[in-house]
């Protein structure tokens, strides 16, 4: 198969949702369709039973929270589909943000009872940064949810995204009769089943077909016809280009747990979702069809096997062909490394692979050379852009409780930061170290891992910080003057970039007004 053919087979996407909306359930049903797993419940039970992918960290086992981002590949209708799973717990949102840099599109799951929730809004902001195409799945139709039009309005208002329903619910909750697939023009009648794998759909290409009355009752048929007319009146027909540019999200309705409405979503996804697209480095745009391999690291997992101190770096292949055993050029360190132990991800297993193509995710075993954001190539020097750090939400100062273990602490902190567990800001003044995270749980992860893996005992002390702002200015002199004036509040991030640690929103506003030539950024790439 040519490189071009390999690329056109691949669809790499992530599922995003507010916790509990049904992301895990939907993932499992997609894997069932792909034949990658045989029984419903497999994804969940594996999370608990197998001490593998989802349970890499001891803390996770203790808390029973899935903290890992993993990758699942499966074949469906001659396509190779890669799902990049994201942590369910919102404290690990930064992991999710980074995973979104490695996908070509997303499926967003929304609970029809709860509507658009806060975490979905945040994730959508990240999607918007790269104009990632979004398909929406409104889940839990078997519950008494909100009116479909109302939900669509909420998506448009809260997520700043135009929608186009491609399936339509016939009733909801107890009165759920089925969904009408606008995209394929057929009817899928609802019959609850947690184990069902395939469903019988009835071809009803003309919505005025009298058989509709027989299948769903005359009153339901009447309502459906009226609502579909309204849908066509309110929403423009789907323009695939607008979906691909992230402006319009096609919407499907269903119930993941009952495997209902999921096939409609998947069959549309494989038709319209993008295959791997060109990606920008600092120097130029690299097309996936280019013969030479390139890729970047978006995720690092540590200590999967507690007996070995190795880490697994997740590489998104961007161009060419990755081949196991080859030497690849590590742009940041300006030297070549040999990767003899490459892993691919198929459904529930990891397996050694010999080659991988754009859109694929490869796992590389690493002993500490790789960092999130690193680029690998066949010699070219540009670094891929678009893998920024985001300003954390919570900040605490690291207090070393054992002066004899300073070196171990230093090493542990740096390595854990490379993995993206949290962000470290080192103050210019007094070399104080402040750790920033998205959620409170990370401080416990850090404390636990520093002690267990590096023998370093730490405590975290509260600090008064509202946001970390990366700073820049068109005029270097102005930036230097600002840094001098605010010396006490300036820290360096892990790349050595200057960061202003703002104590409150109001104060940040005041500082911004006083220094109009300085720009304040909430992400590290600007």
Q: What is the DSSP string of 181-220?
A: ETTTTEEEE----SS-----EEE--STT-THHHHHH-HHH
Interaction between residue 524 and ligand G4P (CB under 6 A): no
Q: How many residues bind ligand G4P (CB under 6 A)?
A: 18
Cβ closest to ligand G4P, residue 134 vs residue 479:
134
Interaction between residue 14 and ligand G4P (CB under 6 A): no
Candidate segments 21-29, 96-104, 272-280, 361-369, binder of ligand G4P by CB under 6 A: 21-29
Minimum distance, C-beta of residue 49 to ligand G4P, in the bound complex (Å): 14
Interaction between residue 142 and ligand G4P (CB under 6 A): yes
Q: Is the dihedral of CA 429, 389, 373, 52 positive or negative?
A: positive
Candidate segments 23-31, 231-239, 363-371, 456-464, binder of ligand G4P by CB under 6 A: 23-31
Instruction: Name the CA dihedral angle for 457, 462, 466, 471, rounded to a multiple of 10 degrees.
Output: -50
What gap in Å lies between CA 162 and CA 165, rounded to an integer? 10
Minimum distance, C-beta of residue 459 to ligand G4P, in the bound complex (Å): 32
Minimum distance, C-beta of residue 18 to ligand G4P, in the bound complex (Å): 7
Minimum distance, C-beta of residue 257 to ligand G4P, in the bound complex (Å): 3
Interaction between residue 24 and ligand G4P (CB under 6 A): yes
Burial 68-80 (b: 16+ CB within 10 A, else e): bbbbbbbebeebb
Task: Indicate which single residue of 124, 257, 266, 413 sits in contact with ligand G4P (rule: CB under 6 A).
Answer: 257
> Using an 8 Å Cβ cutoff, are 72 and 78 in contact?
no
Cα 340 to its chain centre, rounded Å, is 28
Minimum distance, C-beta of residue 40 to ligand G4P, in the bound complex (Å): 10
| DSSP bridge partners of 92 | none
Cβ closest to ligand G4P, residue 235 vs residue 260:
260
Interaction between residue 139 and ligand G4P (CB under 6 A): yes
> Using an 8 Å Cβ cutoff, are 50 and 350 in contact?
no
Task: Indicate which single residue of 10, 11, 23, 324 sits in contact with ligand G4P (rule: CB under 6 A).
Answer: 23
Task: Indicate which single residue of 12, 25, 70, 181 sits in contact with ligand G4P (rule: CB under 6 A).
Answer: 25
Task: Please choose, from the candidates 394, 465, 521, 390, the residue with its C-alpha nearest in 3D space to the C-alpha of residue 123.
Answer: 390
Site string for ligand G4P, 36-75 (x = CB under 6 A): --------x-------------------------------
Helix, strand and coil content of the chain, in percent to the nearest 5, comes to 30, 30, 40
Site string for ligand G4P, 477-516 (x = CB under 6 A): ----------------------------------------
Cβ closest to ligand G4P, residue 143 vs residue 242:
143
Cα 233 to its chain centre, rounded Å, is 34
Interaction between residue 169 and ligand G4P (CB under 6 A): no
Minimum distance, C-beta of residue 343 to ligand G4P, in the bound complex (Å): 24
Site string for ligand G4P, 371-410 (x = CB under 6 A): ----------------------------------------
C-beta atoms surrounding 240 within 10 Å = 13
Interaction between residue 88 and ligand G4P (CB under 6 A): yes
Interaction between residue 85 and ligand G4P (CB under 6 A): no
Cβ closest to ligand G4P, residue 91 vs residue 142:
142
Task: Please choose, from the candidates 339, 148, 359, the residue with its C-alpha nearest in 3D space to the C-alpha of residue 261.
Answer: 148
Interaction between residue 20 and ligand G4P (CB under 6 A): yes
Candidate segments 136-144, 238-246, 335-343, 468-476, binder of ligand G4P by CB under 6 A: 136-144
Minimum distance, C-beta of residue 115 to ligand G4P, in the bound complex (Å): 15
Interaction between residue 21 and ligand G4P (CB under 6 A): yes
Enter the DSSP assignment of 15: E
Both tokens of residue 461? 């002390």
Helices 42-49/23-33 angle, 10° precision: 110
Task: Indicate which single residue of 7, 17, 71, 438 sits in contact with ligand G4P (rule: CB under 6 A).
Answer: 17
- At 4 the three-state DSSP class reads helix
Phi, psi of 422 (to 5 degrees): -160, 180
3-state helix/strand/coil string of 29-78: HHHHHCCCCCCCCHHHHHHHHCCCHHHCCHHHHHHCCCCCCCEEEEEECC
> Using an 8 Å Cβ cutoff, are 314 and 287 in contact?
no
Which residue is associated with the tokens 């978006």?
298
Interaction between residue 256 and ligand G4P (CB under 6 A): yes
Candidate segments 180-188, 213-221, 255-263, 336-344, binder of ligand G4P by CB under 6 A: 255-263
Both tokens of residue 522? 């909430």
Interaction between residue 276 and ligand G4P (CB under 6 A): no
Minimum distance, C-beta of residue 197 to ligand G4P, in the bound complex (Å): 16
Give the residues lining the site for ligand G4P (CB under 6 A). 17, 19-25, 44, 88, 139-140, 142-143, 255-258
């Amino acid at each position: 198969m040519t490189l071009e053919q390999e690329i056109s087979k691949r669809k790499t996407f992530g599922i995003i949702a507010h916790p509990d909306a049904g992301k895990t359930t939907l993932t499992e049903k997609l894997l069932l369709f792909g034949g990658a797993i045989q029984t419903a419940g497999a994804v969940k039970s594996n999370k608990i039973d197998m001490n593998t992918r989802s349970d890499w960290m001891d803390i996770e086992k203790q808390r029973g929270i899935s903290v890992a981002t993993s990758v699942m590949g499966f074949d469906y209708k001659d396509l190779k589909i890669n799902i990049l799973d994201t942590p369910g717990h919102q404290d690990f949102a930064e992991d999710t943000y980074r995973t979104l840099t490695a996908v070509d599109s997303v499926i967003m799951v929304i609970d029809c009872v709860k509507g658009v929730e806060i975490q979905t809004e945040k994730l959508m902001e990240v999607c918007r940064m790269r104009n990632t195409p979004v398909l929406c799945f409104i889940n839990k139709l078997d519950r008494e949810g909100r009116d479909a039009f109302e939900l669509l309005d909420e998506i448009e208002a809260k997520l700043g995204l135009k929608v186009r329903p491609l399936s339509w619910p016939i009733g909801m909750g107890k009165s759920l009769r089925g969904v009408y697939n606008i995209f394929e023009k057929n009817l899928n009648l609802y019959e609850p089943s947690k184990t069902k794998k395939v469903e019988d759909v009835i071809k009803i290409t003309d919505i005025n077909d009298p058989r509709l009355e027989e299948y769903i009752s005359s009153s339901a048929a009447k309502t459906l016809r009226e609502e579909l007319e309204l849908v066509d009146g309110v929403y423009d027909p789907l323009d695939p280009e607008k979906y691909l540019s992230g402006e319009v999200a096609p919407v499907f309705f269903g119930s993941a747990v009952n495997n209902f409405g999921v096939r409609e979503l998947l069959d549309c996804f494989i038709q319209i979702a993008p295959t791997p697209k060109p990606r920008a480095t600092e120097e130029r745009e690299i097309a996936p069809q280019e013969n030479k391999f390139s890729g970047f690291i978006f995720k690092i997992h540590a200590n999967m096997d507690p007996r070995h101190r190795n880490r697994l770096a997740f590489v998104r292949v961007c161009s060419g062909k990755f081949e196991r055993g080859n030497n690849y050029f590590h742009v940041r360190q300006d030297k070549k490394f040999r990767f003899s132990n490459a892993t691919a991800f198929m459904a529930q297993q990891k397996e050694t692979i010999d080659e991988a193509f754009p859109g694929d995710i490869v796992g590389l075993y690493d002993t500490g050379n790789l960092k999130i954001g690193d680029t690998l190539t066949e010699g070219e020097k540009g670094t891929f852009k678009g893998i920024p750090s985001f300003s954390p939400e919570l900040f605490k100062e690291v207090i070393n409780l054992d002066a004899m273990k300073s070196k171990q602490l230093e090493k542990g902190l740096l390595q854990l930061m490379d993995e993206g567990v949290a962000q470290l800001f080192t103050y210019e003044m007094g070399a104080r170290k402040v750790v920033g995270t998205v959620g409170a749980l990370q401080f416990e992860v850090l404390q636990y891992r520093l002690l267990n893996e590096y023998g370093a005992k730490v405590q975290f002390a509260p600090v008064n910080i509202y946001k970390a702002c990366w700073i820049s200015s068109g005029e270097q002199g102005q930036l230097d003057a600002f840094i001098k004036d605010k010396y006490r509040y300036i820290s360096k991030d892990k790349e050595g970039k200057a960061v202003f640690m703002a104590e409150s929103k109001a104060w940040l506003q005041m500082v911004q007004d006083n220094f109009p030539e300085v720009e304040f950024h909430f992400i590290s790439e600007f």
